[in-house]
Amino acid sequence: MSRRVAAFCPGHISGYFKRVDGPDAATTGSVGAGLVISEGVLACVTPAERTDITVWQTDHSRNRVRIAGDSPPIRYAMKKLSVDASVMTECRLPVGAGFGLSAAALLATITALNQLYDIGMDERRIAHLAHETEIVHRTGLGDVTSCRGGGMVVRTVAGIDAPVRRIHGLSGPVSAVSFGPINTPSVLGSPGQMEKVAAAFPSGEPKTIEDFFSYSRAFTEKSGLITPQVREVLDFCDHNGINASMTMLGNGVFAYGDDAEPILSRFSSVHSMAVAKNGPVLLKEEP
C-alpha cells in the first residue's frame, strides 16, 4: 500500500472586505474581518507519476458527489513545487459560495504534500505559495491569511505577511445558509456598484463578536449587494435578535449563537459549525 498523507484546513467567512493592490502577489490581497470556521477542506495525497486531482463534496444526506476532475489552482501550486501526486479534496460546504474553500483546499493540499515528499517548507512558505496561487488564479484575496490560524480575524494591512489580530474563545455555534454564488455580470459591468462596495468599508476595528456583526452588517447594507433572499433572512434575524450578516461574497447569510440555527432553518438547510481554534493541521500518515 502506498504512503498517504491527509491534512485539514478550516474555511473562512468574510464579513467585510476591501481589495488592496500591492506591487506583487504577496502584498496584494484585502483588508477586512471574518470568522475562521470549523468546516473546511480535507486533502488526501498519495505519490503518483502523473498528477490527478479530484474534488469531492459531501451533501446534507451524506452523499459524496464528485464535483470536479481537476483544480487549476492546486495544479499550479504543484507545478511550483515540482511534484506530482494523486490529490483528493473533500468538503461539506458548497463551493464558490463565500466559505473560503479554495484557500482551505490549497493550504490543506500543500501541507499534506510538504509532509508526503519531505519538502521541508515551514508554515510561512506554505502560506506564501497558497496566497500567491489565490492571487494569480483570482480565487481569493484574504482567505489564506485568515485560514493560517483560527478565531475571529481582523486584517488592517493586506497581504500574506501582514499582521492580523485574532480573537479566540468564541464558543457559540456559527450557522450559515447559502442560496448559491453572487452573480458576477450584474456587478462587474458597473464601476458605480464597485465604488459603492469600496466606500462601504467601515472605519474602526471590531473588538468583540457583536462589534464584528455590527461592522459586517453596516458594510452589507451599504454595499448594495443584498439579494432578495438575503434581505428576507436578515430581516427575520433582526426580528428575532440574531447577530447575522451576508456572506461576502456568496448569496447567503451567516449568524452566530445558539438561537441562530432554528431561525435560519426556516429558509434553507443550515450548515452548522464552530469558530475554528487552529489553522491547517496534518491528520494522519499511513505507513
Q: List interacting residues with its own copies (CB under 8 A).
A: 14, 17-19, 21, 30, 65, 68, 70, 72, 76, 96, 102, 135-141, 179-195, 197-198, 227-229, 248-249, 268
For the chain, the C-alpha Rg in angstroms (whole number) is 18
Q: In 3-state terms, what secondary structure has residue 133?
A: helix
Comparing CB distances to its own copies, the nearer of 10 and 173 is 10
DSSP state of 269: P
Minimum CB separation of residue 131 from its own copies in Å reads 12
SS3 55: strand
CB of 122 to its own copies, least distance (A): 26
Q: Which is nearer to its own copies, 69 or 169 (CB)?
A: 69
| Phi/psi at 125 (5° precision) | -65, -40
- Using DSSP, how many helices (H) and how many strands (E) does the chain show? 9, 12
C-beta of 102 vs 114, nearer to its own copies? 102
Residue with Cβ nearer its own copies (6 or 78): 78
CB 71, min distance to its own copies, A: 9
CB of 98 to its own copies, least distance (A): 8
Task: Return the sign of the alpha-carbon dihedral for residues 271, 106, 281, 246.
Answer: negative
Query: With respect to its own copies, which residue has the nearer C-beta, 12 or 173?
Result: 12
**Grid coordinates standing for 158?**
493586506
Q: Residue 257 Cβ, how far from its own copies at the closest point, in Å?
A: 25
Q: Distance between CA 85 and CA 77 in Å, rounded?
A: 12
* Coil/strand/helix, residue 111: helix
